[in-house]
């Protein structure tokens, strides 16, 4: 396997991220997940007028599935967006 660096879609050669970028990406990701969780929980409470379902709570399965999908998508997307702002992707399209 060659160690030749693949150019980015914009033509630039990727640089290895620094330790500060790595740590910054971790911190930004954690903060983004905390913020997204708070926002989604607040919106859920405003929309449904009840707390989000807990794992052991007796609620319809569709409500639990909707909550898990919503919180999972929101936290995953926010973490990835925060990470990409601090530490840009290193390779071209997957």
| DSSP state at residue 13 | P
| CB atoms closer than 10 angstroms to residue 66 | 15
- What residue numbers bound the domain in which 39 lies? 20-86
* pLDDT of the residue at 56: 87
Phi, psi of 70 (to 5 degrees): -65, -50
For the entire predicted model, the pTM comes to: 0.73
Percent of the chain whose pLDDT exceeds 70: 85
Number of domains in the chain: 1
pLDDT value, residue 94: 47
Residue 15 has pLDDT above 60, yes or no: yes
Token output for 74: 């929101």
Residue 28 lies in a domain: yes
**Any domain includes 6:** no
Tell whether 43 is covered by a domain: yes
pLDDT in tens, 57-84: 888 999 999 999 999 999 999 999 998 8
* Tokens found for residue 53: 């379902």
4 falls within a domain: no
Q: Is residue 8 part of a domain?
A: no
């Amino acid at each position: 396997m060659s160690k030749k660096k693949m150019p980015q879609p914009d033509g630039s050669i990727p640089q290895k991220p620094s330790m500060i970028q790595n740590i910054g990406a971790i911190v930004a990701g954690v903060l983004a997940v905390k913020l997204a969780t708070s926002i989604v929980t607040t919106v859920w409470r405003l929309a449904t007028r009840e707390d989000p379902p807990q794992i052991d709570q007796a609620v319809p399965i569709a409500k639990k599935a909707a909550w898990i999908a919503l919180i999972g998508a929101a936290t995953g997307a926010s973490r990835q967006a925060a990470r990409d702002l601090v530490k840009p992707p290193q390779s071209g399209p997957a």
